Amino acid sequence: MTTRRQFLHSSALAIAATALDWRALLAAGASPRQPDLLTLVRGTVGTFTGRGGTIGWHIDAKSVVVVDSQFPATAQTCLDAVNARTQSRTIDYLVNTHHHGDHTGGNGVFRPAARKILAHANVPRLQREAAERAVAAARNAPPPAPGAPPAPAPVPPDQQVYADTLFQSTWREPVGDEVMSLKYYGAAHTGGDAVITFEKANVVHAGDLIFNRRQPVIDRPGGSSIAGWATVLEGILADHPADTIYIFGHAGANFPATGNRADLLVQRDYLTALLEYVRGEIKAGKPREVIVKVTEPLKGFPDHGPLTERVLGSAFDELTA
Ligand SMILES: [Zn+2]
């Protein structure tokens, strides 16, 4: 027989349990369901596109890897999305494909969540030097025009967050049920580009070695070599099977941030054609200031859009160095 006391006790438990369920439901419903910001590429590997270089990720039951960190604001959005997927497990590796600010600017956001930040051995030096140049340039810049917003202040060298785990030529380690390998093929987009292969998924993060159908950034102070870049792309193709999917650092407005070996060949051919074109202009006796003013697309590459002074100037400087 149930006494009144027992009845009250079990009723109170039932009400408490119901209240807990209700609170849990309310909590789940109170935050509007975030759209899934993580796009699956294949297997356990996918992308996040916010602002800056495309972020790659690998998530399985035992491991979490993030490749590149964009800028602080989008890094936080990406980290939140990864944490939602992993119940905030520790990130085994944040990898930096290279030192540029649109790939490393969010390192500080990922730092507390990541066991290690992995990059090519040249990356911390290149990152520090780029920060020094940016601070000097900001110091020497003319004041903004009246009414114009001030340019954002560069992040000084001592406030940059640097990779703490470095590799020279190759690096390979299991991450959960996946195997991640990194390789440095030589100077290309910068002097420290890592190519990251998720072997089982057969997906490669190629960083800024691919600007899919848009004018590339060529960073001579950061160690770029246009000729080397074309050769590096051939090396990557030789190392990977025909059905590898590649993640690109950047893409033109109407082009995807992932693709296949045909896209790498387009990037190689673009770089080769750029050097050929500028070499011809130099041979024709044109001075630098004339050569860099051309704004038509490079012949045969209309998708890349108009040539720019920076791209042409970099090609000129490489050919005349
Ligand atoms: Zn870059």
- The tokens 């944490």 sit on which residue? 83
Alpha carbon of 271 to ligand 1 centroid (Å): 15
Is the pLDDT score of 17 beyond 80?
A: no
CA of 211 to the centre of ligand 1 (A): 9
Task: Please write the tens of the pLDDT for every residue from 57-80.
Answer: 999 999 999 999 999 999 999 999
Q: What is the distance in A from the centroid of ligand 1 to the CA of 125?
A: 15
What are the residues whose beta carbons fall under 8 Å from the beta carbon of 146, sequence distance 6 or more? none
Tell me the three state secondary structure of residue 279. helix
The per-residue pLDDT for range 220-275, each reduced to its tens digit, is: 999 999 999 999 999 999 999 999 999 999 999 999 999 999 999 999 999 999 99
CB of 295 closer than 8 Å to CB of 258:
no
Residue 148: per-residue pLDDT? 85
Q: Residue 97 C-alpha to ligand 1 middle, in angstroms?
A: 9
Where residue 26 falls among pLDDT bands split at 50, 70, 90?
Answer: very low
Fold of the CATH domain 35-140+149-261: Metallo-beta-lactamase; Chain A (3.60.15)
* Cα–ligand 1 centroid distance for 275 (angstroms): 19
Query: How far does the centroid of ligand 1 lie from the alpha carbon of residue 59, in Å?
Result: 24
- DSSP, collapsed to helix, strand or coil, labels residue 211 as strand
Residue whose C-alpha is closest to residue 103's, from 274, 217, 233, 185: 217
Looking at residues 13-18, what average pLDDT do you find?
46
Helix (H), strand (E) at residue 180: strand 178-184
CA of 100 to the centre of ligand 1 (A): 5
**Span from the CA of 188 to the centroid of ligand 1 (angstroms):** 10
What pLDDT score was predicted for residue 20? 45
Q: pLDDT at position 35, please?
A: 63
Banded pLDDT at 16 (limits 50, 70, 90): very low
Average pLDDT of the segment spanning 148-173: 94
Confidence band of 4 (pLDDT split at 50, 70, 90): low
Closest CA to 104 of 164, 182, 153: 164
Q: What span, in angstroms and rounded, lies between the C-alpha atoms of 147 and 321? A: 41
How many beta carbons lie within 10 A of that of residue 15, not counting itself?
A: 10
